[in-house]
Structure formats: C-alpha cells, structure tokens
Homo-oligomer: A and B are copies of this chain.
C-alpha cells in the first residue's frame, strides 16, 4: 500500500516540528488545529502513528501516560519527572548488546527495547528544597 502525500500529513509533521518538547498526540492536535481548524483528532493520531512506524519521527512510549512524539528520529532514551510529568532526553549511549543478551536469556527474537528513567527534574527539585 503506497503511502500518499496529503496536506494533513505536511501540516502535522510541521506542527510536530514546531512543538519543542515531546508533545503528546493531543497536544499536536490542539496546536495544529489553531491554524487548521478543520483537521480531525483521529487524523492526527493516525498520522503520527504512521510517521512513527515509517521511522520519520520518533515515538516515546511513556509508562502510564500518553505516547509522545519527537521530530527527531534517532534512538535515544528519556526521563520523566514524576512530579510534573515533564519528559526530557537522556543523552546516554544506547545500550549495546542487551538485545542479544535478552534474546539468549528468553528465547525470544528481540526486535528492540525501551529504556525509560524516572526521576525529579531540576525545577521540581528546587520546589522541593524551597518548600521543605
């Protein structure tokens, strides 16, 4: 099934590019809709998912929360602030050899992995300090 190059696709990709930090599909929807009120929520969800599957954008699956998208497609990990929900990149080297190790240990054919950190972001650390 050849994939078509629709206006919405452009708009959504562009919208994602402008939202700096790991927006959720709904945030992209809200943003895009300000300039293009006609666009449908389902289209945004479908398109982001499609682009992510094609590898054109990154998808960050968050434990217990909405998926987030990233206009940069290269693999990297993320931290999530357990106080405010903020998500940031973690520029730690990508784990090497773990997939093979996991394959050996489990018998699965491993296709990939997700590593997510939990923690408290600098801003929330500051709040804690001042309120304590």
Contact = CB atoms under 8 A, between A and B. Distances in A.
Given A64-B61, A108-B88, A115 B118 contact: no
Interface string A96-121: 00110111011111111111111111
Nearest to A115: B115
B120 A111 contact: yes
A125 interface: yes
Contacts of A67: 64
B114 A118 contact: yes
Given A61-B64, A114-B63, A108 B99 contact: no
Nearest to A123: B107
A19 interface: no
Contact of A117 (B63, B90, B99): B99
Nearest to A77: B102
A7 interface: no
Ordered nearest first, which 10 A-B pairs have the shortest CB separation? A108-B119, A61-B63, A110-B119, A109-B120, A107-B122, A113-B117, A102-B117, A114-B116, A90-B102, A92-B101
